[in-house]
């Protein structure tokens, strides 16, 4: 059995990237549980599929949680080594690079007081039911959420939720369109109205996160080329800023868009997945001890994160930061979720060292 001192961060990262986890995470979950066992820690898998392991000191102190996810977007991209210390493959930076760093910190840190928990979720890229379950069952004094941040300490992110605007008209034969109410034709003014929603009803520009966005992303309607369509659906992506929440948004958007409908038609707005949680916008105080400690240890800037994350589920409970090796995008374009996804091994080691040092400072007996 290996111990924490001999944990091979590069070997674990390589095996993790070589393990597909875009369709199912069972094999990747087993790899993580085995790595924890090799390090001397028994992991549990809760009813939502989260992997949990804890280290608790005899002396009372804060509770710190290290979190990231084991699932990836499709398709699987094989592991391959590049120039210098660059490695490529699906999940190399999102988020198996951060996972390797957080696992190393969990295994290696000297926990002098309090408790350190590793909490790894199975479905961040899809429904986030794992994080939603942790939100209900886990409480802590601080959270470090692993994502590719270029070793910067990210304290805020816009929320992200998806929904549909369904326009209801009346079908008729296309030879006499006046007998019906064309739902597709009504989509043009509705999409124009979507452009003006934030100006009239949105929370306005946020000091840290900027303006919210509302983006039509798909449109579908009609059943036959010779029939006036009775229904048209516009799928949208909303990137929110505080204090807007996904609970209030559909009703407010529906009221706004309804003013633009032609007579005799109706519409409704609904969330795509109303029974699973969406990441809400969040912001952690830049002066929080966790933020300042991790920034000092990593040397990274304090800034917002460029994408929605599971950090939103933990931020209402305690100071929460997003941190890790790799980048979402570089000067050539997208990195995470792309065919060219990569991370630098040296950054994984730097991230691990920074989190380990932060844990030791926050969970020390001398605090």
- Tell me how far apart the alpha carbons of residues 274 and 205 are, in angstroms, rounded to a whole number: 27
Q: Give strand pairing partners of 240.
A: 159
| Nearest CA-CA partner of 32 in 100, 116, 126 | 100
Q: Answer yes or no: are the C-beta atoms of 98 and 349 closer than 8 Å.
A: no
**DSSP conformational letter for 236:** E
| Nearest CA-CA partner of 126 in 71, 45, 50 | 71
Of the listed 71, 152, 297, 356, which one is catalytic? 71
Over the range 226-263, which residues count as b (16 or more CB within 10 Å of their CB) and which as e? Answer: eebbbbbebbbbbbbbbebebeebbeebbebbeebbee
Compute the residue count for the chain: 367
- Tell me how far apart the alpha carbons of residues 213 and 366 are, in angstroms, rounded to a whole number: 46
- Tell me how far apart the alpha carbons of residues 259 and 261 are, in angstroms, rounded to a whole number: 6
User: Which residue do the tokens 């840290």 mark?
Assistant: 208
Q: Which residue intervals of 40-124 are DSSP H helices?
A: 96-108
Beta strand pairing call for 59-69 and 142-146? parallel
Q: Could you confirm whether 71 is annotated as catalytic? A: yes
- Tell me how far apart the alpha carbons of residues 136 and 131 are, in angstroms, rounded to a whole number: 9
Q: Answer yes or no: are the C-beta atoms of 279 and 309 closer than 8 Å.
A: yes
Of the listed 94, 124, 141, 280, which one is catalytic? 124
299: left (phi over 0), alpha (psi -120 to 50) or beta: left
- Tell me how far apart the alpha carbons of residues 100 and 59 are, in angstroms, rounded to a whole number: 28
Q: Could you confirm whether 124 is annotated as catalytic? A: yes
Active site members: 71, 124
């Amino acid at each position: 059995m290996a111990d924490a001192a001999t944990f091979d961060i590069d070997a674990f990262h390589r095996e993790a990237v070589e393990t597909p986890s875009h369709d199912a995470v069972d094999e990747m979950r087993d790899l993580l549980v085995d790595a924890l066992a090799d390090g001397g820690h028994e992991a549990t898998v809760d009813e939502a599929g989260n992997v949990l392991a804890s280290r608790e000191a005899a002396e009372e102190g804060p509770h710190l949680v290290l979190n990231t996810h084991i699932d990836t977007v499709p398709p699987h991209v094989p592991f391959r080594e590049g120039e210098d210390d660059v490695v490529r493959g699906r999940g190399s930076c999102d988020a198996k690079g951060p996972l390797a760093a957080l696992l190393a910190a969990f295994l290696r840190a000297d926990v002098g007081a309090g408790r350190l928990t590793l909490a790894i979720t199975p479905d961040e890229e899809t429904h986030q039911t794992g994080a939603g379950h942790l939100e209900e069952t886990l409480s802590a004094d601080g959270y470090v959420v692993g994502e590719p941040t270029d070793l910067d300490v990210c304290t805020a992110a816009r929320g992200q939720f998806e929904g549909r605007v369904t326009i209801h008209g009346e079908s008729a034969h296309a030879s006499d369109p006046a007998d019906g109410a064309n739902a597709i034709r009504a989509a043009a003014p509705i999409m124009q109205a979507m452009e003006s929603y934030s100006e009239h009803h949105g929370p306005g520009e946020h000091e840290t996160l900027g303006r919210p966005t509302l983006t039509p992303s798909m449109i579908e309607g009609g059943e036959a080329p010779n029939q006036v369509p009775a229904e048209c659906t516009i799928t949208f992506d909303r990137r929110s800023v505080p204090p807007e929440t996904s609970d209030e948004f559909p009703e407010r958007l529906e009221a706004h868009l309804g003013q633009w409908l032609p007579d005799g038609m109706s519409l409704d707005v609904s969330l795509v997945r109303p029974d699973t949680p969406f990441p809400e916008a969040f912001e952690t105080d830049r002066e929080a001890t966790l933020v300042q400690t991790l920034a000092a240890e990593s040397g990274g800037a304090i800034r917002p994160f460029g994408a929605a994350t599971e950090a939103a589920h933990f931020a209402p409970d305690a100071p929460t930061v997003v941190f890790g090796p790799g980048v979402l995008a570089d000067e050539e374009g997208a990195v995470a979720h792309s065919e060219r996804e990569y991370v630098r091994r040296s950054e994984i080691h730097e991230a691990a060292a920074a989190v380990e040092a932060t844990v030791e400072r926050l969970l020390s007996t001398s605090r």
